[in-house]
Chains A and B, each alone.
Chain A
Amino acid sequence: MVLFLYYKSSLGHFIATSLNTGQIQLWKYDWKRDLCIAHTYEDCQRSVNSLTFDPYRPNLLYAGSQSQIVVFDLREKKLVSTYLDREDAVRDLRFPYSDRSEFATAHDSGKVMIWDTRKSDKCLRVISCHAHVVFSCDWHPTNNQRMVTAGRDQYIKVWDLSDSVESAVYTILTYAGVRKVRWRPGHDDQCASYGSMAWDCDINIWDLSRTYIPVAVLKNHSQVISGLIWRDSNSLISSSADNRILLDELKNPHIPAKDATPSSLTFNAYGHLCTAIRTPVADKERKVSVPDLDHFGKDLVLDEDDTDGSLSDDAPSSSYAFTSAMSDDGEIGIGALDGEVSIFSFQAPGHMPTEAFEYASLENDGDNSESYSKPTELVADLFVTKPTPEMIVRSWKFSDIIPDLLKSYADEGDVQTCVSIIAALGERFDVTSINEETVVNWYNYYLEILDKFELWNAHNELIKTAHYSAIRELSFSWPYNTGCNNCKKVVNKAGCCNICKKQAALCSVCHLPVKGLYVWCHGCGHGGHLQHMKEWIKKNHVCPTGCKHRCEYD
């Protein structure tokens, strides 16, 4: 295993390499551009996984091996200290960018340890970061209290060390174990990583504000990547098993967000389903389908020509429908990937947007290669709401299940449920789905039960609401004459007394109009509220109107 290190110091240009045997060779790069072995350190017994020069004391070389951390002095050409004597392999060893006395090591046990260079016997703190091997760790370039770790458990985690209890402030789940992760200089929220699996030849650049998809992917290597280092904020050097070292200036990186099919879907109160997807065939196209629940179709294809009229002209990548929402009256709002929102009226001819506005202004610094680094400007979600006075709930086709449901209840002998369901459904019940004779039989049986329990009101209400003529015919009316409570004359059809010109259907006890049950004596025709008449008859034997009739009630 050879570790590639470019190191410039007052002592000269050194390159340190290590072998699986634990042997570390130090190469000197002299002014004649010749490379010669300056020294070979053989104190390490096991394979060395990590080699670092101390950035603050240039004569020290740190090596993390399978069992310990050893420090060599370049001038004295010997081992000066050993930091760990436990069987915990060191996978990565990093110095922070500003603090001169600390360094961090990543370990096989899933822990990251932070050391003081002056204290070799005990580490300062231990952070349990990953469930499995921690392959890599890196200090944040500007924030000393922040660290990124990556491990075999497919996670990249960003830690906040300011508190005594460390917490992962960001967690990125990748699709494979992560071999190495390095912060991007000049971009506080970005880091580059590559995977540990043999098939994984991509370098991913992540942004903490959008952890679910890398902002850029570098696909230049054909074999597994072995090393990665940022040259400056816009270029990184990587090596891989395909014998190439590449300097990538991120001029035209692959942006996976463009590949992904941004899609969203939403319902409105009519049961329309609106989906906004970008069709993968043509980049300059966004597609909105509004399939009805019953029949699909009605695709609304919006190409660049349509949107140019309202979306800003300098938005070449504006045609990504990222999110969508639909109002109750058929208007569709589409949020584009670049932060613009268009409102389309589905009914309008030509599908021209009726409204378009910038949801969040895109801060463009003029550099095209930077534009992908602003994922926070995305329209994350969109609501188009136009409240309508009443929500119209679309009826769904339930008629297919209803007959089976009814039959199963009928088999159990529960005609009450059968009839109640039919009565509740009313007109929505498909009369043809069940033999009318059967339903009428259920009705008759249930009416009989109600009769038996003397539930006359329920009985009559059921007859009144029935949609079957055979049942409704059971209802008949019988004219009864009621007398005016004032003058004892027969009232007219409107319920008013012809002589008194007053409402006759007043309760003769409380003198208020009777709404509901009116009970009256068939002998004198006087009556009133059922409750009041009951109470009156309990105490008296004659009519409450004083007509002297000895009213009789059952």
Chain B
Amino acid sequence: MANISISRVKREFAEVVKSEEAKRCGICIKMLNENNFTKLLGEITGPPDTPYEGGKFLVDIEIPDSYPFNPPKMKFITRIWHPNISSVTGAICLDILKDNWAAALTLRTVLMSLQVLLSAAEPDDPQDAVVAKQYNENIHLFMKTARHWSEAYAKARPIKTQDFHEKVRKLSETGFSDDSCRTALSKSGWDEQRGMETLLDS
């Protein structure tokens, strides 16, 4: 790891830890291994007034050797239902992590950008086509599904997706895992029959 890269990451790490603003927004960062600044773990709290409110989303951060000339590699570890984030792999579609990366950006600003992305999805530049389609066609169902995922994976306080939980529980009685049942149901608009078919097709 080049010198410039290490020293920058160290400073940015400290910046996130110390920053009052990041704390207020519920953003924090951790090291996975002692003295290894190439693998970091970010945590973003779901922004208020969104289906992700109250959820804790873990983000895997990998700093490349060529940092800051190249952007850090980030993806969600926590499963999330979002048009710009893959529901399967957690890959993020965000311009500043790709072509629009600027050296002036830091880990703090990138994590805050991700938080903003959660509150303002970009369905026209989707990462997950199924989610984006649902977002465009039935925003209400999308919201409810996203909320359900937050409750199921991001430890968000359960509010009103009890029926979805019930459906997942029922479908999982067939022997499929909760996760695959939830994914299948979400993709099929919570229609149990179609969900079952999706499960069997996959």
Point out residues on A near B: beta carbons under 8 Å: 485-486, 508-512, 532, 535-536, 539-540, 542-547
Contacts and interface: CB of A to CB of B under 8 A. Distances in A.
B103 A536 contact: yes
A536 B8 CA distance: 15
A508 B4 contact: no
Given A509-B69, A536-B69, A539-B70, A546 B4 contact: no
Interface in B85-139: 96, 100, 102-106
Interface in B43-102: 68-70, 96, 100, 102
Contact of A532 (B4, B104, B105): B4
Contact of B102 (A486, A510, A512, A544): A544
Contact of B7 (A508, A510, A543, A547): A510
A508 to B, nearest CB: 5
A539 B104 contact: no
Contact of A545 (B11, B96, B104): B104
B11 A511 contact: yes
B8 A511 contact: yes
25 contacts: A485-B104, A486-B104, A508-B104, A509-B69, A509-B103, A510-B7, A510-B68, A511-B8, A511-B106, A532-B4, A535-B69, A539-B69, A540-B69, A542-B102, A544-B68, A544-B102, A544-B103, A544-B104, A545-B102, A545-B103, A546-B96, A546-B103, A546-B104, A546-B105, A547-B102
A545 B100 CA distance: 10
Contacts of B105: 546
Q: Is the interface of B mostly helix, strand, loop or mixed?
A: loop
Nearest 3 interchain pairs by C-beta: A546-B102, A544-B103, A545-B104
B59 to A, nearest CB: 20
Interface of B: 4, 7-8, 11, 68-70, 96, 100, 102-106
A510 B8 contact: yes
A539 B105 CA distance: 16
Contacts of B102: 542-547
Contacts of A512: 7
Nearest to B100: A546
B99 to A, nearest CB: 9
Nearest to B102: A546
Nearest to B5: A510
Nearest to B3: A510
A512 B69 CA distance: 15
Contacts of A540: 69
Contacts of B103: 508-509, 536, 544-546
Contacts of A485: 104
Most chain B CB within 10 A, of A511, A512, A535, is at A511
A539 B66 CA distance: 11
A350 B92 CA distance: 93
Contact of B68 (A486, A509, A542, A547): A509
Nearest to A546: B102
Contacts of A486: 104
A536 B7 CA distance: 17
Which of B4, B96, B103, B104 is the most central at the interface, judged by chain A CB atoms within 10 Å of its CB? B103
Contacts of B100: 546
A485 B103 CA distance: 10
Contacts of A543: 102
A546 B102 CA distance: 5
A510 B104 CA distance: 8
Nearest to B12: A511
Nearest to B103: A544
A525 to B, nearest CB: 13
Interface centre among A485, A535, A547 (most CB of B within 10 A): A535
Contacts of B70: 539
Given A542-B102, A546-B100, A546-B102, A510 B69 contact: no
A512 B6 CA distance: 13
B128 to A, nearest CB: 26
Contacts of B11: 511
Contacts of A544: 68, 102-104
A471 B69 CA distance: 42
Contacts of A510: 4, 7-8, 68
Contacts of B69: 509, 535-536, 539-540
Contacts of A547: 102
A111 B200 CA distance: 122
A511 B10 CA distance: 12
A547 B105 CA distance: 11
A485 B7 CA distance: 19
A486 B102 CA distance: 12
A530 to B, nearest CB: 13
A541 B96 CA distance: 15
Nearest to A526: B104
Contacts of B104: 485-486, 508, 544-546
A501 to B, nearest CB: 16
Contacts of A508: 103-104
A545 to B, nearest CB: 4
Most A C-beta atoms less than 10 A away, residue of B11, B69, B96, B104: B104
Contacts of A536: 69, 103
Nearest to A535: B69
Nearest to B105: A546
Most buried by B among A486, A509, A536, A545: A509
A467 B8 CA distance: 43
A536 B71 CA distance: 12
A511 B103 CA distance: 9
B110 to A, nearest CB: 11
